[in-house]
Amino acid sequence: MLRFLESRVSLASMFFRCSVEAALVPKPSVKKTTDGTTTSYQKVRDWVLNYIAEHRLKPGARIPSDRVLCKQIGLSRPTIARAINQLVQEGVLVREERAGTYVGGNIGVRPSVQGCTIGVIMPWVTDVDSVVVNGSIETERLVRTTKRQGLTSRILHGIISELNGTGCRLAVHSNTTLFEEAKVLSELPNWGLDGVLVMPSMEPGNEKLYANVIEMGLPLTFLDIYYPNIRADRVVTDNFEAARKAVKYLIDAGHRRIAYFTHFENLTSVSEREAGYRRALEEAGIEVDEALIQGPQVCRGPHWDLRLPLERCMSLPEPATAAFCLNDGMVLLVLQAADELGLSIPDDLMVAGFFDDYIPQGLPVSFTRVVQAAHDMGRIAVRLLLERISGEAPSEPRHVALPAELVPPTTREAIADVRIPPYNR
């Protein structure tokens, strides 16, 4: 277990492998020529999409040849060929040598948003306030490191993979603290964004600023956490059901004294996970013991600590035999506290919790993980935002809740000899 917890400190960082600028440049609207007409690419794209729509073509249907397109659109064959190749890269079309050009699988999925600028506001993303990425974005190696490897980095991977081929620019900004978030949201109108993807700060309090963003008409999609009163699309985890299943897993393993380690911020993910914890106990006929619901203490400087809360749970007349944890941080704090108290995981305390940090392949893990579909969360959020930008989205906000995966332990190895570094929230 020690090997796992130590290894997470030295895990390889993700990087942006593309050009990076220090500040935003003016918003690149649809490119135009000197006489005000749209670019040749946009002419071809519009003609192709209109043709597909008018003829109600489905994926696999053939479209007219380049020669026909030259006559219909009034452009040269090399220009048509370049534009068609771009549409092939986007997945709108599929081209087979000597066979023709066909409708691809992405028609209707990616709206025409060529050249737009998408803002991404997330905690733990960059070491500076903001970074702008131009051109093709590669997910294999990124030039700008993320501060934490886990949920945010995987969501970012999904965002990047979905934006590739759209011609969009990506402007990434950090909102790790409430102050950073307020600053970013206040400056949004000056950045020339076409839309923004936001994973709100773990410190609630900027709801009014989010309302202002919506009022000024900027398309916005929430990721992971959202404000229920803000009319915006959101893509999140089904936190209630994921928590209910995780606690049921502990109950099915024979545990009835299940502690819950959380923090008490007024966030949707926090309240939904606690509701799932309570529902699982209720369904099993187990009365909720409020003494088993604990939050961390602030000690050791800026660090949180769970030793005393865990000790209280273990000192009750009926001590806890299992623990469910809100997130990665709580899992690590419980493991650290268990080590300090001489408890073996999972023999003395079975642990389950939301955990999205990277784990080296083949490394034994003695706790049960709830792993979120972070990559899909990023991809779907991009699709919703692009539809909103292009005007193809319904008027009512959309709520997409993704299931999480329950990953059982890979070992019953105790952690009595673990020396876990303090977890810094």
> What is the predicted pLDDT for the residue at 125?
67
What's this model's pTM, rounded to 2 decimal places? 0.67
Question: What was the pLDDT predicted at 8?
Answer: 41
pLDDT band at 20; cut points 50, 70, 90: very low
Helix (H, G, I), strand (E, B) or coil at 99: coil
Q: What is the pLDDT of residue 17?
A: 29
Q: What is the pLDDT of residue 239?
A: 96
Query: Which carries the bigger pLDDT value, residue 349 or residue 27?
Result: 349
- 8 A C-beta contact, residue 321 and residue 349: yes
Per-residue pLDDT at 341 exceeds 90: yes
Q: What is the mean pLDDT of residues 38-62?
A: 77
| pLDDT value, residue 235 | 95
More confident residue, 363 or 121: 121
CATH code for the domain defined by 40-103: 1.10.10.10
Q: Which of 168-172, 324-328, 375-379, 402-406 has the lowest mean pLDDT?
A: 168-172
pLDDT of residue 136: 38
* Residues sharing a CB contact under 8 Å with residue 394, sequence separation 6 or more, in sequence order: none
Q: Is the pLDDT of residue 361 over 70?
A: no
202 pLDDT band, cuts 50/70/90, is: confident
| Each residue's pLDDT tens digit, 385-399 | 998 988 888 888 999
Alpha-carbon span 85 to 79, nearest angstrom: 10
The per-residue pLDDT for range 43-52, each reduced to its tens digit, is 888 788 878 8
Cβ(176)–Cβ(124) below 8 Å = yes
Residue pLDDT, tens place only, 134-183: 333 333 333 333 444 578 888 998 998 888 877 788 888 877 788 888 98
pLDDT at 113 over 50: yes
Compare 425 and 324 and report the one with higher pLDDT.
324
Distance between CA 16 and CA 18 in Å, rounded? 6
Predicted pLDDT at 285: 98
Phi, psi of 206 (to 5 degrees): -110, 30
Locus of tokens 């068609």: 84
Mean pLDDT of 115-134: 66
Average pLDDT in the chain? 78
Task: Write the pLDDT tens digit of every residue in 279-333.
Answer: 999 999 999 999 999 987 655 545 678 899 999 999 999 999 999 999 988 998 9
Cα distance between residue 369 and residue 151, in whole Å: 13
Domain ranges of the chain: 9-26+113-237+375-403, 40-103, 239-372
> In this structure, how many other beta carbons lie within 10 angstroms of the beta carbon of residue 253?
14
Q: Which residues of 350-367 are buried (b: 16+ CB within 10 A; e: fewer)?
A: bbbbbbbbebeeeeebbb
CATH number of the domain located at residue range(s) 239-372 in this protein: 3.40.50.2300
Q: Does 135 or 372 have the greater pLDDT score? A: 372
| Whole-number pLDDT of residue 112 | 54
Nearest to 267 by CA among 222, 226, 230: 226
pLDDT of residue 128: 42
Report which listed range, 63-67, 254-258, 264-268, is most confident. Answer: 254-258
Shared fold status for 9-26+113-237+375-403 and 239-372: yes
Question: Residue 95: pLDDT band by 50, 70, 90 thresholds?
Answer: confident
Structure-token pair, residue 169? 């620019």
Residue with the larger pLDDT of the pair 192 and 140: 192
**10-19, 58-67, 216-225, 414-423: which range is least confident on average?**
10-19
Question: 9-26+113-237+375-403, which class in CATH?
Answer: alpha beta
The mean per-residue pLDDT over the stretch 82-100 comes to 81
Burial letters for 27-44: b for 16+ Cβ neighbours within 10 Å, e otherwise? ebeeeeeeeeeebbbbbb
Label residue 187 by pLDDT band (50, 70, 90): confident
Average pLDDT for residues 193-207, to the nearest whole number?
87
Residue 380 has pLDDT above 90, yes or no: yes
pLDDT recorded at residue 30: 34
Q: Where are the beta strands (DSSP E) in 247-358?
A: 258-261, 293-294, 297-298, 304-305, 322-325, 350-354
| Residue matched to tokens 């087979």 | 96
